Amino acid sequence: MTAALDIDRVSHSFGSVAALTDVSLHVPRGGFTALLGVNGAGKTTLFSLITRLYDNTSGTIRVAGHDLRRAPRQALARLGIVFQSRALDADLSVRQNLAYHAALHGIGRAEARVRIAEVLDQAGLTDKGGDRVSALSGGQTRRAEIARALIHRPDILLLDEATVGLDVKSRAEVLALTRRLIAEQGVSALWATHIMDEIQPDDDLVILHQGQILRRGRASDIAGRQGLTQAFLSLTGTPA
């Protein structure tokens, strides 16, 4: 089966500064892959390449089998994106934001109404559809952004530090929603984070540091007996 996301030997530089070096990773269909790295590790640069904010001139990126450089429209259509920075119009209602995003994807009004009801239910926001985004809590806003990313029924969600700025309860809710979507809807997810307690033992884990992948595999295998925190500190050379 074609992977949801395949990245093969991707590098990127800003002038003479290397941001990514020969990065390769694989997100299977219906899988959750955690991309773990401290701030500045290269996570956002990688997401910018996957979403074509930057052009990948080195290596290949395939989304649901579509080569990002050769067939960008088809590849990007299979992505649902939640960036670290907020992307909703705070002065519009949640439903209006979703309707606008549906229109951008060429979804007709009748079908958009069906899909909006669907994603609001999935995100646990059915009773918030008419509320302005500015009236939502931080966690509700993040869930609304996930609903927005789902409106065109993508193959994979990209979530770049999706829990930044949230309290512990809201962080758990956003992460639980993402995991539930994988289990119930079959969507895949690439979850970028610097927070180790967001990672479960059975997760597929990729550790990114200074633009390079240090380890990838099952989180419990990488952690071993020493635990994930100590394993990460050892791999990155970070003082305890």
Q: Which two tokens stand for residue 201?
A: 């033992």
Q: How many CA atoms lie within 13 A of 21 on its CB side?
A: 10
Mean pLDDT value of segment 74-83 = 95
Q: What is the pLDDT of residue 60?
A: 97
Q: Give the dihedral sign, CA 185/186/191/196.
A: positive
pLDDT of 225 over the 90 cut: no
Is the pLDDT score of 1 beyond 80? no
Over residues 215-224, the mean pLDDT reads 96
Would you place residue 240 in the very low, low, confident or very high pLDDT band (cuts 50, 70, 90)?
low
pLDDT digits (tens, 9 = 90+) for 144-199: 999 999 999 999 999 999 999 999 999 999 999 999 999 999 999 999 999 999 99
Mean per-residue pLDDT over the chain, rounded? 95
What is the average pLDDT across 131-141? 96
Report residue 26 as tokens.
């694989």
User: Mapped to the 3 state alphabet, what secondary structure does 69-108 carry?
Assistant: CCCHHHHHCCEEEECCCCCCCCCCEHHHHHHHHHHHCCCC
- The answer to pTM > 0.85 is yes
Identify the band that residue 216 occupies on the pLDDT scale cut at 50, 70 and 90.
very high
What are the chain's domains?
1-78+154-240 (3.40.50.300), 88-153 (no CATH)
Give me the pLDDT at residue 237, please. 84
Task: Give the residue among 35, 1, 46, 7 at the shortest CA–CA distance from 204.
Answer: 35
Q: Specify the pLDDT at position 228.
A: 94
Residue 22: per-residue pLDDT:
97
Grade residue 70 by pLDDT with cuts at 50, 70 and 90: very high
Indicate whether 115 pLDDT > 90: yes
The confidence score (pLDDT) of residue 175 equals: 96
Q: What does the pLDDT read at residue 11? A: 97
